[in-house]
Amino acid sequence: MIVVSGASGQVGGRVSKLLTKPHVRLVRDRAKMPEAERSADYADKPGMVRALRDADTLFLVSGREDPHRLQAHKTAVDAAVEAGIGRIVYLSFAGAAEDCTFTFGRDHWHTEQYIRATGLRYTFLRDNLYLEMIPRLAGADGVIRGPAGDGRLAAVSYDDIAASVVAVLEDAESHEHRTYTLTGPEAFTLHEAAAVLGKTYVPETVEEAYASRAHYGAPDFEVAGWVTSYQAIANGELAEVTGDVEALTGRRPRSVRELKGA
């Protein structure tokens, strides 16, 4: 049996709807999805052990943005080991590395290493930025602001990510110890995306980016995550286009042009 974590979210919810193999839905907050079969916070090891009972595979979606997210991931992985899970399919991030520009991407890299060290079977699916997020980068004035320069990103849609995850979960043995990078069909600049979406992109310096986000009152780690996602684009770290979505799903991934017509 498969445990689908993050089942109330954009990817986990889609995965649970598409998956034909026996599975249960796991959520952190049952109030968001009362019909979910199981609930637990990643940081609650006893709760996670109970939530993973009788399962052999865990689809692990990364936890919410938090300064302690990596430790929560490790606790969830430890719970999987204790519960007798044999395989983890982890939704990671494109370009995840110990020193990648995008600060949240570093959590993904460390989580991958921790999973590897358990000796469990695993598959990592590293997605690029969410395609559906691009229009939401714009403010109320329709302007996208950030220090991405003329860098390119190969954003990928929720549907394409979920379909790729399901392809792996349905035939997990064929994908053991593999890492896939999930991207859209092309890499585009924010100038190009804004033009397609009827918006405008105004490049900022890093200093301007931090200053323009100060009014949100968000914690420093979160603002750093926002700003460094643009810096990662500028540095070319999200420009790689792969054929992994099509190889896994048999279909061409959705483009930013198709997003406009949705």
Answer whether residue 111 shows pLDDT above 90: yes
Residue 112 CB partners (closer than 8 Å, separation 6+)? 90, 92, 96, 124, 179
Q: Which has the higher per-residue pLDDT, 220 or 144?
A: 144
By DSSP bridging, strand 178-182 and strand 2-4 are: unpaired
Do residues 253 and 187 lie in contact, with contact meaning Cβ atoms separated by under 8 Å?
no
Mean pLDDT, residues 222-244: 96
Mean pLDDT, residues 81-102: 97
Q: Considering only CA atoms, which of 94, 97, 55 is closest in space to residue 238? A: 94
Placement of tokens 């796991």 in the chain:
26
Q: What is the mean pLDDT of the chain?
A: 95
* Residue 121 β-bridge partners: 87
pLDDT of residue 70: 96
Q: Which CATH class is domain 2-260?
A: alpha beta
Is pTM, for the whole model, over 0.85?
yes
Q: How confident is the model over 163-214, as pLDDT tens digits?
A: 999 999 999 999 999 999 999 999 999 999 999 999 999 999 999 999 988 8
Domain boundaries, the chain: 2-260
DSSP notation for 152-193: EE--B-HHHHHHHHHHHHHTGGGGTTEEEEE--SS-EEHHHH
Q: How confident is the model over 237-256, as pLDDT tens digits?
A: 999 999 999 999 999 999 99
Answer whether residue 261 shows pLDDT above 60: no
The 3-state DSSP class for residue 24 equals strand
